[in-house]
């Protein structure tokens, strides 16, 4: 029976445990490039014991960013900074993963702490939004959206493939495509955002076409020995949006196009959600377990899995294969070590680099002063 600290192998890649740091956008890049801040942030999480470490969502085009301070991989000059990130993650024992995406109609924003409002196309830090259909998201996303032409869609798929080639050059060993959270892939799948009358809109097959073509483009250049995964917006929580049964079928279709693991989340194609579950513990696990059971593909989910006992239980019960942690990974760079102490792991300090582990194992002072919460603080 696996547990939270069991190794996990997918293709030719083995993670030391089942704990993944989710992509979290930091708004610290300059012209798409990452720097010392990112090396520090992701290297410290690998040193803290995370098995799989994602930087933030990496934009495939300049217009695919959330803000002008987001990271990208649309140019060869971006490879060097990301290669520094992958090297430190590997040196600290983790596997470096990349999430490629395009924000679509939810881009051209201010930084969150500056107001998070959408910027007009003529603003120095803004741009013209593109999406499946000329439908603004609404709420704080107020500016007109232009529908992508078929030729532009093909260009986006080429951009995915070009970014994947650069990801190989940068040393990434795991690639996830972001088709959730109201971004471009999610909006193609959702009837709330996609009202096209061509081969990319209308029926289930047509709304899924963007995803399958994007997967095909990346699979053609991404090494077969390395995992190709996807974060899918599996439910819009709206009667006219994506329904979960559609998501189950979509994952099944994508496995035939080279998908190795599914990372399920919410669609977020509207703010008008029915009974949003965001305060519920581990609310995506049941959905993930159904896809894992019916489609037979490895599964990961996030959302409210930050208590060690909960994270361990969903792995032990074989409901999902990987636990994705976002804010818990930001708040505690050594979350895996904390979890190991909570769960009575025989050697929690085996999760940190050997030199750190030696000092921590040989602590001779009062146990309460070692700097970790006492076991029991993270019980469910």
> What distance lies between CA 82 and its chain's CA centroid?
16
Q: Using the 8-state DSSP alphabet, how is residue 119 labeled? A: P
What stretches of the chain adopt beta strand conformation (E)? 8-10, 13-15, 19-21, 52-53, 58-59, 95-101, 129-131, 145-147, 174-179, 228-233, 261-265, 299-301, 322-325
Q: How far from 175 is each of 95, 103, 143, 235, CA to CA, in Å?
A: 11, 17, 32, 23
- DSSP state letters, 260-278: -EEEEE---S-S--SS--T
Does the annotation mark 183 as catalytic? yes
Using CB atoms within 10 Å of the CB of residue 25, give its burial: 0 to 12 exposed, 13 to 18 middle, 19+ buried. buried
Q: C-alpha distances in angstroms, 217 versus 154, 159, 163, 164, 165? A: 10, 9, 11, 9, 11
Classify strands 8-10 and 13-15 as parallel, antiparallel or unpaired. antiparallel
Distance of CA 48 to the CA centre of its chain: 19
Which of 176, 326, 356 lies closest to 259 in space, CA to CA? Answer: 176
**Distance from C-alpha of 247 to C-alpha of 138, rounded to nearest angstrom:** 24
How far from 204 is each of 148, 164, 192, 225, 283, CA to CA, in Å?
19, 27, 13, 30, 25
Residue given tokens 């992701």 in the structure block = 42
Selecting among 42, 137, 160, 183, the annotated active-site residue is 183
Length of the chain: 380
User: 371 in the Ramachandran plot: left (φ > 0), alpha (ψ -120 to 50) or beta?
Assistant: left
Q: Which of 23, 50, 5, 99 is nearest to 302 (CA)?
A: 23
Distance CA 229, CA 208 (A): 16
Active site residues: 183
């Amino acid at each position: 029976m696996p547990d939270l600290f069991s190794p996990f192998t997918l293709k030719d890649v083995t993670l030391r445990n089942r704990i993944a740091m989710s992509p979290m956008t930091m708004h610290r890049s300059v012209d798409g490039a990452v720097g010392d801040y990112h090396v520090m942030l992701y290297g410290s999480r690998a040193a803290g014991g995370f098995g799989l470490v994602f930087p933030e969502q990496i934009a495939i085009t300049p217009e695919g960013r959330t803000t002008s301070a987001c990271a990208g991989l649309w140019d060869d000059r971006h490879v060097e900074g990301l290669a520094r990130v992958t090297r430190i993650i590997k040196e600290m024992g983790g596997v470096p993963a990349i999430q490629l995406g395009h924000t679509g109609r939810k881009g051209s924003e201010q930084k969150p702490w500056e107001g998070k409002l959408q910027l007009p196309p003529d603003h120095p830090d803004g741009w013209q939004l593109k999406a499946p259909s000329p439908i603004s998201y609404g709420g704080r996303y107020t500016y007109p959206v232009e529908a992508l032409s078929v030729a532009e869609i093909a260009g986006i798929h080429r951009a995915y493939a070009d970014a994947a080639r650069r990801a190989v050059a940068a040393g990434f060993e795991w690639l996830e495509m972001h088709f959730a959270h109201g971004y471009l892939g999610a909006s193609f799948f959702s009837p709330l955002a996609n009202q096209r009358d061509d081969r990319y809109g209308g029926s289930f097959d047509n709304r899924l076409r963007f995803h399958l073509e994007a997967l095909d483009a990346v699979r053609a250049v991404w090494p077969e020995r390395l995992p190709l995964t996807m974060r899918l917006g599996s439910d819009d929580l709206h009667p006219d949006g994506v329904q979960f049964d559609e998501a189950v079928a979509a994952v099944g279709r994508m496995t035939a196009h080279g998908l190795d693991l599914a990372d399920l989340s919410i669609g977020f194609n509207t703010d008008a959600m029915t009974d949003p579950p965001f305060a519920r513990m581990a609310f995506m696990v049941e959905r993930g377990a159904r896809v894992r059971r019916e489609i037979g593909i490895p599964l990961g989910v996030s959302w409210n899995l930050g208590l060690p006992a909960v994270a361990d239980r969903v792995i032990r019960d074989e409901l999902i294969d990987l636990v994705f942690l976002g804010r818990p990974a930001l708040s505690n760079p050594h979350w895996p070590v904390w979890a190991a102490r909570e769960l009575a792991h025989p050697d929690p300090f085996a999760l940190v680099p050997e030199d750190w582990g030696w000092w921590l194992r040989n602590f001779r002072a009062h146990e309460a002063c070692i700097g970790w919460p006492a076991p029991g603080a993270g019980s469910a």
